[in-house]
Structure 1
């Protein structure tokens, strides 16, 4: 099994240990998982997972739940505008390479 697949169905927790929801999608940049898709309010919200820690089927991310709740929602595909909005929202530099949705095995 691909190590990336182990992140699916982990509970995503914010930096304070507050539960946000289950990881339903992963998005890669250069083959590395950098974003997790979490179901919130009947939509998918992407959360940056660089610097996250996995503990007992929990993925603890270095952002606050309120920041996740206020993040732009995405559709089935990530548009160029959504890509930029997400990075701006979290204060991250927009990479040259587009994010790629990981296909769960």
Structure 2
């Protein structure tokens, strides 16, 4: 999936496998360049939902899990997921851990570029 297709997922509302609304996509998490998880804002806070095998229909992302599973999912915090948090999420949803580490995707961000180090500014005396 190319970057623009991944970015378009941010415009989606997440629905469970039965079409019940869960919430809007807040962030995406990728492994090996493929989107595998979405942070979703719900009435109870933000939680991660597996999106492998999800279908996009008219700005709706229909995920292969039920709303109850999302409600009962472990809450994870911070900008990065620890190995323990990843394992807990995968166990909860009955999924295998990917070989690659999950990486948070930033919408519209270009690939990192190397830049020369910034020089410190001298203060006038």
Alignment: residue pair count? 105
Q: Which has the higher contact order (CA 8 A, sep 6+)?
A: 1
> Over the residues paired in the alignment, what is the CA RMSD in angstroms?
1.3
TM-score (norm 2): 0.79
Query: 1 or 2, which has the higher strand percentage?
Result: 1
1-structure distance, mates of 2:63, 2:50? 7
- Structure 1, gaps ≥5 residues long: none
Tell me, yes or no, if structure 1 residue 83 matches structure 2 residue 86. yes
- What does residue 99 of structure 1 align with? 102
TM-score (norm 1): 0.94
Shift of 1:80: 1.2
- Structure 2, gaps ≥5 residues long: 109-125
Any runs of at least 4 consecutive aligned residues in structure 1 with deviations exceeding 6 A, and if so which?
none
